[in-house]
Structure 1
Amino acid sequence: MTLTQYDALPPGLLELPAARLGEVLPGPTLIHLPGRRTPPLFVSVLLHGNEDTGWLAAQSVLKKYATAELPRALSLFIGNIEAARTGQRRLDGQPDYNRVWPGSEEAHPPERAMMQQVVDAMRARGVFASIDIHNNTGLNPHYACVNRLEQDFLHLATLFSRIVVYFIRPRGVQSAAFAELCPSVTVECGKPGTPGSVEHAAAFMEACLHLSEFPAHSVAPHDVDLFHTVATVKVPEQISFGFVTPDADIDFVPDLDHYNFRELERGNLLGRVRPGSPARLQALDENGAEIGDRLFDYSRGEITLRKPLMPAMLTRDEQVIRQDCLCYLMERIKTPA
């Protein structure tokens, strides 16, 4: 798989929606643009083809500076153009473009080599900061994710949202790869098409372009709600599931995605197991160990929480649940001094 690199915007690119980028770009593309300050800000968009807020935000910012110098040099990576053509997270046979960066545990040599190229190119340029712009499928607020609890990372994250999630799994994500080079963050902008999402992402991108340096002081505890991801929850492939689907192995409560970013109590009901079914959810901690029995109670044929936790990214989209996960479970943690 070949990475295309440009030192200027291809003609007509800023007029195209995500689904038509393949008319101008041959595939995953890294575009380097000059600006008043260096080193460059790195921005990645469309690592998932159905998440177009990042591309729309980048379009908005670049159109604004069409006849003016950017405040800082910018390197823009446009990811899964092929999946964007049909509005899918990824195509069958493709890996997840946000699981194949350096540090990945997945075996997809062509895509892994391409992402290594991106990282090497940005290492050579001495990247200032990295932002990876995403959407999600459930009902979630806008929030930021970091892979290190260092002050520059937290300052970058809180430029976008006071809700910040610290995680180290899954492996192979863009923000973790770039954390080796510079402050990096993933920003989650709600569902595609949600009013205000593009404007929020564009304002964040522009704020990062105007940032001359990171503050020397620590982020104040009252300026951030900080959470730690303690488990990734998946539905095993052999288990059927649904929403208001009593014949399925697991029948989730119909409003499951309304639980996102609510601090749930012990005993909170997530769903029911079909009588006679041995179905169980898979829950992996940040070291990859199975901890489901510590988190979920299956007595009385119900799936309830054994301890207070906060979910993120709960979705009713069955394809996304199969391709990625059901949700992440988090605990509130103190802001480091």
Structure 2
Amino acid sequence: MGFAHIVTPTLPGFQLLNADEISLPATSFQFLQALQGPAIIRIKGKTRQRRAVITLLHGNEPSGFLALYKLLQEKFQPFADTTFFVVSVPAALEAPGYRYRALPQHKDINRCFKPPYSGEDGHLAKQVIDYLVDLAPEAIIDLHNTSGSGPAFSVSRRLTAKHQALASHFTRWFIHTDIELGAVMEVPFCCPVVTIEAGGAQDDIAHINAYEGLKSYLSEENVFTQRQHIEVLGQPRRLEIHKEASLAFAERPVFGASITIRQDIEQRNFGTTQPGDILGWVDHAKLEHFRLGGHQRGELVEHYFSADNNQLTVTKPLKFFMVTTRIDIAKSDCLLYFIETD
């Protein structure tokens, strides 16, 4: 289960592979095992234009990698020379497979795309940046999954016609954000970069979204031709949980838990949550367990959420997205993102 030919690496953290020289294993996971570590895979296009795709920045978000495997199986030829970055391979391989964002004791690499680029993960992020700067592609797509179920959507720091056109190959939802986390989409490349959340990591529809979106993005002669109407959602916030708080997901308050969130909260992704809708329950500390990340520093949780009678609800209509029911992700990253909506 190997490769017919591996190009000698020129980057310390990555192996460089040409798609037409890969002997593809029988399954996508065997392909991942054959890679063993981060890889850059180059697919020759019909023209010498250049496009780029980043996959598996998080090891528990497989849709982009599964789409790449399927494209390689089909010997698909894109319109432009295309470079795929497959990044967190060791985390994806860690048993039981596609479970971990990053290996234990490692940083979330999609928080490392900013100075000082320290440690192994920071160095790897800097290599991705340097390679992309030298490559100078006309567009970059960063493919992800959400940890909870929900529809596909896009995220970008820029709100231009080109950014929206790139997103339209995958989804009609476009989230314009100014949140700074150290993500790859925050790097000021000389071309548009858009993050695509293809849907829930466990959902087959997400793998289909990633595959069909990539085929559209890679087949189009003019990649900036808008494929569908785009609905823009502006300036999200993050609902974050303090490390000291204990968290549970259940149908009723869990004894001893600082916060209990309803198990079906994922169903609120991209719907409208109204005041009075019960999201969960909190103990005597109520909203002190939470903080807001994002749009306006210093904003109070109380401006958007209420804990009357220890029931967690909202103070105004909100649209949630990227809701997770993974305790580790909710605690280390955030429980959900939200925007105000009418």
Q: TM-score, normalised by structure 2?
A: 0.85
| Residue 75 of structure 1: aligned partner | 83
Q: Which amino acid aligns with 2:134?
A: A
Q: Is 1:136 matched with 2:142?
A: no
Q: Distance in 2 between matches of 1:109 and 1:168?
A: 26
What is the DSSP-based 3-state SS (H/G/I as helix, E as strand, rest coil) of the residue aligned with 2:109?
coil
Aligned counterpart in structure 1 of residue 34 of structure 2, from 23, 26, 33: 23
Report the aligned-residue RMSD.
2.6
Measured after TM superposition, the shift of residue 136 of structure 1 is: 1.5
Aligned residue pair count: 324
The 5 A counterparts of 1:103-118 are: 103=114, 108-118=118-128
Using the TM superposition, give the Cα deviation of residue 44 of structure 1 relative to its aligned residue in structure 2, in angstroms.
Answer: 1.0
Matches within 5 A, 1:2-151: 2-9=12-19, 11-13=22-24, 15-18=26-29, 21-25=32-36, 27-65=37-75, 69-86=77-94, 87=98, 88-101=100-113, 103=114, 108-151=118-161
CA distance in 2, matches of 1:271, 1:318: 14
Is 1:292 the equivalent of 2:307? Answer: no
C-alpha contact 1:227 1:330 (8 A) present in aligned 2 = yes
Q: Look up the match of 1:166.
A: 176
In structure 1, runs of 5+ residues without a counterpart are none
The residue number in structure 2 matching 1:228 is: 234
Q: Which has the higher contact order (CA 8 A, sep 6+)?
A: 1
Runs (5+) with no aligned partner, structure 2: 1-10
Letter in 2 for 1:233: L
SS at match of 2:281: strand
Identity fraction in percent: 23
Using the TM superposition, give the Cα deviation of residue 18 of structure 1 relative to its aligned residue in structure 2, in angstroms: 4.0
Contact 2:57–2:87 (CA<8 Å) still a contact in 1? yes
Q: What code does the residue aligned with 1:202 have?
A: Y
Q: In the superposition, relative to structure 1, how do residues 264 and 277 fare at CA in structure 2: closer, same or farther (>3 Å)?
A: closer
Aligned-partner residue type, residue 57 of structure 2: L
Change (3 A) 1:198 1:139: closer
From the superposition, tell whether residues 288 and 181 of structure 1 become closer, same or farther in structure 2 (CA, over 3 Å): farther
Q: Tell me the TM-score normalized by structure 1.
A: 0.86
Deviation, structure 1 residue 200 = 2.2
Offset, 1:96: 0.8
State how far apart, in whole Å, the 1-side matches of 2:299 and 2:104 are: 27
- Is the CA contact (8 Å cut-off) linking 1:250 and 1:279 kept in structure 2? no
Q: In the alignment, which residue of structure 1 is the partner of 2:246?
A: 240
Contact 1:136 1:188 in 2 (8 A): yes
Q: Which residue of 1 aligns with 2:320?
A: 311
Structure 2: how far apart are the matches of 1:246 and 1:107?
A: 42
- Structure 2 SS opposite 1:223: coil
| Distance in 2 separating the partners of 1:239 and 1:125 | 45
Distance 1:55 1:278, change over 3 A: closer
Change (3 A) 1:14 1:35: farther
Judge conservation of contact 2:92–2:101 (CA < 8 Å) in 1: yes
Indicate how the Cα distance of structure 1 residues 107 and 129 shifts in structure 2: closer, same or farther if over 3 A, else same: closer
Taking the aligned partners of 2:126 and 2:32, their CA distance within structure 1 comes to 23
CA offset digits 1:140-188 (Å, max 9, x no partner): 11112222101100011112111111122242112222x5221221111
Matched, 1:176 2:176: no
